[in-house]
Amino acid sequence: MSWTPARAIAFALPLLAACYSFSGGGGLPSHIKTAYVAPVENETSRFGLSEVLTQELLDAAQARLGLQLAAEAEADAIIRATITRYSDMPTNFEAVEGVGADVFQNRITILARVEIVDATTGDVIWAATSVNGVGEYAPESETENDGTLLALENLVQKIVDGAQSQW
């Protein structure tokens, strides 16, 4: 069997591909394997947001960032978030004389301050003062809670994206 350049490349490519891999933890430093998610603080008057966002962050730390959950004293990273604003505003409506308006669509916007800290060094790995999550709902067929859950999911995705952007 003669080794032509094409045959050599065909033989070498699978071997080279086998050596290439991704490590867990997204864009976080390689020593970050565990995380503590602090209970989310809520500076708004909207009840129940902090509990839902805390659970969403716990789930995302494991499923999307590949981290194991740990107690604060044993964690490699600490994730903190504070909800700073909640709004529910109509985005699609029609004025009705003498009544006000027929609202067809509302937009929930949730703003949060977030930081991920390297617990071993105290350095901030990622932080943002106003991460926003948006969720829309149709008042005729959906509830405000539906829009709120969408906004929280969107907010968590932006936090995950921010953490993973630290390549």
Q: How much is the pLDDT for 98?
A: 82
Mean pLDDT, range 140-144, rounded to an integer = 95
Task: Compute how many other C-beta atoms are within 10 angstroms of the C-beta atom of residue 109.
Answer: 18
Q: What are 132's strand-pairing partners?
A: 111
State pLDDT tens for residues 8-25.
444 444 444 433 333 344
* Token reading at 141: 């067929």
Q: What domains, with CATH codes, occur in the chain?
A: 24-164 (3.40.50.10610)
Place of tokens 């009544």: 99
| Residues of the chain above pLDDT 90, percent | 72
In whole angstroms, give the CA distance from residue 158 to residue 116: 13
Q: Inform me whether the pLDDT recorded for 167 exceeds 80.
A: no
> 130 vs 165, which has greater pLDDT?
130
In whole angstroms, give the CA distance from residue 167 to residue 165: 6
Q: Are 140 and 92 in contact (CB under 8 A)?
A: no
What is the chain's alpha carbon radius of gyration, rounded to the nearest angstrom? 23
3-class SS of residue 65: coil
